[in-house]
Amino acid sequence: MNNDLFIQKAYINGKFVTGKNSFDVINPATQRSLGTVPDLSVSDCKKTVLVAEKAWMAWRNVPIGERCASVRRLFELINRHAGDLAEIMTKECGKPLSESLVEVDYANSFMEWFAEEGKRAYGETIPALKAGTRLTTIKQGVGVVAAITPWNFPLAMITRKIAPALVAGCTVILKPASQTPFSAIALAKLADMAGIPKGVFNVLTSKDSKGIGKELATNPIVRKISFTGSTQVGSTLMAQSATTVKRISMELGGNAPFIVFDDADLEKAVQGAIAGKFRNAGQTCVAVNRFYVQEGIYKEFAKRLTQEVQKLKVGDGMKKNVQVGPLINKAGLEKVQEHVDDAVQKGAALATGGKSLHGLFFQPTVLTHVPHHALIATEETFGPVCALFPFKTEEEAIRLANDTPFGLAAYFYSNNIFRCQRVAEQIESGMVGVNAGMVSNASAPFGGVKQSGIGREGSTYGLEEYLEVKYICYGE
């Protein structure tokens, strides 16, 4: 790839390094190797933790204004290299180039936001109840942070962890998903150019996710783990990090409902459905998984949605006008097919799509009258499939929406202000889109309830995740 940011090395202690072994990264659109990266070991990980600890001793004492200025410089550099970053992203994860450009922008919005918000890590002065003492608090970075990130947003899932960590005075060891390490390494190159000191941000590439995850979670020097990925791996990391009582942030799986009430604006609901479902071929944790549509509007909504879905152009994300790329790998493709076949076998009707195309591509699909015991009703599909379920009453819709162990994002459409307030308050999820199919942005708190996670990213809450409150009592 003729791209200055495409580097086939890990980045540790300010240097681009190779390892004894390496592994291939596959472009899911062509299923050919894009290049290789070092397959670093648990012992490399242990050394990196020491590097990050040493760097922390200095970084935490760099004035906050300077730390924020470094992150701001990184923001400017990402802006300047958006095209290169987007190309790498599309080639390693498959999303259309236009979407990759949007992700680079979104990813970078966390750099901009936290370069400002970092300056507002205020402490307090607390009135003392008795004479003789003065009570204050200050906020300090938690220390060495381990970040483990998934492949579906190869840049944004990283920036919303490292931007607040860096301004808070923490140092970071990032283990990117083995499917998409090149975006992370490209970010390291830009961090290097931005003058972020050596050891402050490290990118450790490895195929041994389990071994590296366990080392990071159990190493006492690491003070915090921030993870985005599946609930299963998240709960393993929580259990492992309990042994050293770490701070944790967990952004885990979702199973987002999308409710369309009879009183909704049909066109807006259809547009919201397309936006909420087909981004990254449905491979996002906030992607709609279950469409609940009220009886009076059901037929019309199904018809309009099917028409729009049939217009979507599937193909290699590097080609012009492509809207839906491939799935990340064979296992992902098989899961989507399994969910569709299971729903049809249990009685759902196929309105459009339903089959895999060549390679890792799957037809954008609409299933109607899906039974509630179908797999797709309870498990995250992570693919370009809309499953429609009819419902009668508001109470029923809320019950169905909440009937899941997950609670990340939820969406609903209605033009009745009182219903909007009631439903938004009763839905069990960390984020609710009311007449909105996309909700995430840097200034708002992103995160889940129930088994969708712990903690928030973005916004001032996202900064708190990397800060400890220290109480200082002055005697006289």
By annotation, the residues acting in catalysis are: 251
Cβ within 8 Å of residue 153, ≥6 positions away: 103, 107, 280, 284
Q: Does 166 bind ligand ADP (CB under 6 A)?
A: no
The residue sitting closest to ligand ADP, measured at its beta carbon, is 213
**Size of interface with ligand ADP, in residues (CB under 6 A):** 15
Which segments of 142-271 are extended strands (E)? Answer: 144-148, 171-175, 201-203, 222-228, 247-251, 256-260
Terminal C-alpha separation, the chain: 66
Please, how many CA atoms are within 13 Å of residue 139, restricted to the half-sphere of its CB? 18
Q: What count of residues does the chain have?
A: 476
What minimum distance in Å lies between the beta carbon of 217 and ligand ADP? 7
Q: How far apart are CA 154 and CA 233, in angstroms?
A: 18
What minimum distance in Å lies between the beta carbon of 252 and ligand ADP? 8
User: 296-307 in b/e burial notation, b at 16+ Cβ within 10 A?
Assistant: ebbeebbebbbe
Q: Does 154 bind ligand ADP (CB under 6 A)?
A: no
Q: Does 229 bind ligand ADP (CB under 6 A)?
A: yes
Pairing between strand 467-475 and 385-391? unpaired
Q: Choose which of 7, 49, 148, 442 interacts with ligand ADP (CB under 6 A).
A: 148
Helix 209-218 with 231-242: angle, nearest 10 deg = 40
- Measure Cα distances from 127 to 275, 280, 287, 472 in Å: 50, 52, 47, 13
Which CB atom, from 110 or from 151, has the smaller least distance to ligand ADP?
151
Which CB atom, from 178 or from 218, has the smaller least distance to ligand ADP?
178
Q: Choose which of 230, 329, 352, 402 interacts with ligand ADP (CB under 6 A).
A: 230
Of the listed pieces 63-71, 192-200, 230-238, 392-400, which binds ligand ADP according to CB under 6 A? Answer: 230-238
What minimum distance in Å lies between the beta carbon of 171 and ligand ADP? 19
Please give the biggest Cα pair distance in the chain. Answer: 77
CB 173 within 8 A of CB 45: yes
Which CB atom, from 150 or from 164, has the smaller least distance to ligand ADP?
150
DSSP 80: H
Which CB atom, from 389 or from 406, has the smaller least distance to ligand ADP?
406
Which CB atom, from 230 or from 352, has the smaller least distance to ligand ADP?
230
DSSP 346: T
What minimum distance in Å lies between the beta carbon of 207 and ligand ADP? 8
User: 129-138 in b/e burial notation, b at 16+ Cβ within 10 A?
Assistant: eeeeeeeeee
Structure-derived torsion over alpha carbons of residues 278, 284, 289, 295, reported in degrees to the nearest 10: -50
Q: Does 330 bind ligand ADP (CB under 6 A)?
A: no
32: β partners:
27
Which CB atom, from 284 or from 323, has the smaller least distance to ligand ADP?
284
What minimum distance in Å lies between the beta carbon of 284 and ligand ADP? 10
- Nearest Cα to Cα of residue 291 among 368, 404, 403, 381: 368
Q: Which amino acid is at 467?
A: L
What minimum distance in Å lies between the beta carbon of 147 and ligand ADP? 10
Q: Does 236 bind ligand ADP (CB under 6 A)?
A: yes
Which CB atom, from 121 or from 177, has the smaller least distance to ligand ADP?
177
Residue 14 CB neighbours (<10 A): 17
Pairing between strand 406-407 and 349-352? unpaired
Which CB atom, from 118 or from 229, has the smaller least distance to ligand ADP?
229
DSSP 382: -
Binding pattern to ligand ADP, positions 209-228, x when CB under 6 A?
Answer: xx--x---------------
Binding pattern to ligand ADP, positions 6-45, x when CB under 6 A?
Answer: ----------------------------------------
What minimum distance in Å lies between the beta carbon of 230 and ligand ADP? 3
Helix 64-80 with 156-167: angle, nearest 10 deg = 160
Q: Choose which of 3, 13, 79, 178 interacts with ligand ADP (CB under 6 A).
A: 178
What minimum distance in Å lies between the beta carbon of 196 and ligand ADP? 22
The contact set with ligand ADP (CB under 6 A) reads 148-151, 175, 177-178, 209-210, 213, 229-230, 233, 236-237
